[in-house]
Structure 1
Amino acid sequence: MASAELELQGAMVARLKADAPLTSLISGRVYDQPPADLNGVVPAATYPYVTLGEAQTIRDDATCVRGGEIYLTLHAWSRAVGFPEVKRIADAVADSLHDAPLALATNRLNSIEYRQTRVFRDPDGITSHAVIEFVAFTEKP
C-alpha cells in the first residue's frame, strides 16, 4: 500500500495537468522538479509553471480508523511583469484542487481544502512566486 501523501501527489498532478483553465495559463507545465540547466542548478523550464513543494503528514487516528492530515504546498512561477499572471495561476490551482473529488488507489481522501496563498518577488528581482497551501484529510482502509 502506497502512502496517502504519495498517492495524493499523483492525483493532484493528474488533475492540474487536465484542468482546462489552468492549462490555458501554464500549458500543462506541472513539475515535481522542473528541468534544470546543464549544470543542474538553474531551472530551465519555460515560464510560467507550477511545482510541487513541501508536504507534511500528521497522523490523526480515530476509533477504528487510521487517518492523517496532509499539509501540501504548491508553487507557481512567472516571469511576466508584475504579479497579475502568477496570481491568476495561483487562483486556478486553488480552484482546481479545493474540494476536488480526487481518487486515490489504496487510501481514501475525505477532503482537500485550499488554505492560503502568499505572493512575492523572488530575490532575482525578475521572478514572481506564489506559494499555495492546502490541507487534505485521508484514511487508510
Structure 2
Amino acid sequence: MASADLELQGAMLAALKADATLSSLVAGRIYDQPPEPVTYPYVTIGEAQFVRDDATCISGGQVFLTLHAWSRAVGFPEVKRIADAVVECLHLAALALPTNRLISINHRQNRVFRDDDGLTSHAVIELVAYVEKPIS
C-alpha cells in the first residue's frame, strides 16, 4: 500500500496534465523535478506532509500539499493565471486513489512573489487533502 501523499501526487499529476486550461498555459510542462535547462512557464509538484488523525475504526489524516508555478514573463499576470488554473483543477476535485480514499481536497492559499534572481515570478499554491487509509 502506497502512502496517501504519493498516491495524491500521481492523481494530481494526471488531473493537471489532462486539464485543457492549464495545458494551454504551460504546454504540459508539469514536473516533479524540472529538466535542465527548463522552458518557462511550468509547474512543479512540491512538498507534502501527512498528519495522522485517526478515529475509532478509521485510520486517516490530512495531507498538506504544495505546488509551484514559475514564469519569466514580465510582471505577475502569467504566473497568477497558471496558479488560478491549478486551483480550478484541484480544488474539490474527485481524485481516485489506488489504495487510499480521498475525502476532499481544498485550496488553502496562494502566495505570489518575485524570486531573488529578479526575473522569475513564482506562485506557491497550498492545498490540504483529507484521506482515509484502509485498516488491515
Tell me the TM-score normalized by structure 1: 0.94
Alignment of 1:15 onto 2:8: no
In the other structure, the counterpart of 2:24 is: 24
In the other structure, the counterpart of 1:100 is: 93
Q: 2:133 aligns with which of 127, 130, 140?
A: 140
Residue type of the alignment partner of 2:80: K
In the other structure, the counterpart of 1:87 is: 80
Whole-angstrom distance in 2 between the partners of 1:129 and 1:69: 25
Q: 1:67 aligns with which of 60, 65, 70?
A: 60
Aligned-pair distance for 1:45?
Answer: 1.4
Alignment of 1:110 onto 2:114: no
Tell me the TM-score normalized by structure 2: 0.97
Q: Which sections of structure 1, spanning at least 5 residues, go unmatched?
A: 37-43
Q: Deviations over 1:70-100 (max 9, x none)?
A: 0000000000000000000000000000000
Whole-angstrom distance in 2 between the partners of 1:17 and 1:47: 16
Q: Which sections of structure 2, spanning at least 5 residues, go unmatched?
A: none
Whole-angstrom distance in 2 between the partners of 1:30 and 1:64: 37
Q: Deviations over 1:28-47 (max 9, x none)?
A: 110001012xxxxxxx1110
Please tell me the root mean square deviation across aligned C-alpha atoms, in Å.
0.5
Aligned-pair distance for 1:63?
Answer: 1.0
In the other structure, the counterpart of 2:51 is: 58
